[in-house]
Amino acid sequence: MVFDKANILVVDDDQDLSAYLVDLLVKKGGYKVSAVTNFNDSLSKLKNDIFDIILLDLKLPDINGSQGITEIKIVSPHSKIIVLTGFPSVDTAVSTMKNGAIDYLKKPFKEEEILEIIRKTIKFEFINDILTNMAQKIRYIRKEKGLTIKQLSAQSGLTESSISMIENGKISPSVATLNKIAMALSVHFGIDEYCYPYQNYLSG
């Protein structure tokens, strides 16, 4: 997913709101945006295109939002779903997040709120892609050098379990942790150049 090239699908039966979101996200976000007014049309779109983010109305004429999330995840598991609702509640927020939504936004919302949620989602995905590539590179280089995880642990000062989880993509390491591994392997990953602007988004 590239910041200004993210492909977004708006699924909302309010045509005025859909038109507003398309205009906002294209003009102020620079994103590629499509819109549909019912769930069946969204599934057709998802089968014929790759969407990074889906803005999904919780109450559609042909399905409820929670069930919709489940069906979208089957057709397009990589898509990040942000739920939009004019009838917020703790129960619906919890159920939609459990079903796979990554965020929940109350209507009416401010222009900057929706833009910030989308920016944050894209940043997280960008960083996750970097970390996944780094983890694969760490495992490859370690094996090329004939090092065990135990040996790399001793050289880097990190625990064996941490290195194992990093290599298997089970945790997201900090930039500092990746640099320790790079130094122990005597390689340069270019981590800072990629991640420095987004270090606040990385876990320790």
The predicted structure's pLDDT at residue 193: 45
Kindly give, in sequence order, each residue whose CB lies less than 8 Å from that of residue 91, ignoring residues fewer than 6 positions away: none
What's domain 3-109's architecture?
A: 3-Layer(aba) Sandwich (3.40)
85 vs 132: CA distance, rounded Å? 33
What is the tens place of the pLDDT at every residue in 17-46? 999 999 999 999 999 999 999 999 999 999
The predicted structure's pLDDT at residue 203: 40
Q: Do domains 3-109 and 127-201 have the same CATH topology?
A: no
Confidence of residue 172 (pLDDT cuts 50, 70, 90): confident
What is the tens place of the pLDDT at every residue in 57-88? 988 988 877 789 999 999 999 999 999 998 87
Domains of the chain, by residue range, sit at 3-109, 127-201
Whole-prediction pTM: 0.70
Partnered with residue 104 across adjacent β-strands are 83
**Burial annotation 40-71 (CB, 10 A radius, 16+ → b, else e):** eebbebbeeeebbbbbbbbebeebebbebbee
Partnered with residue 82 across adjacent β-strands are 55, 103
Q: Does domain 127-201 have CATH number 1.10.260.40?
A: yes
What is the tens place of the pLDDT at every residue in 81-112? 999 998 878 888 888 888 889 999 999 999 99
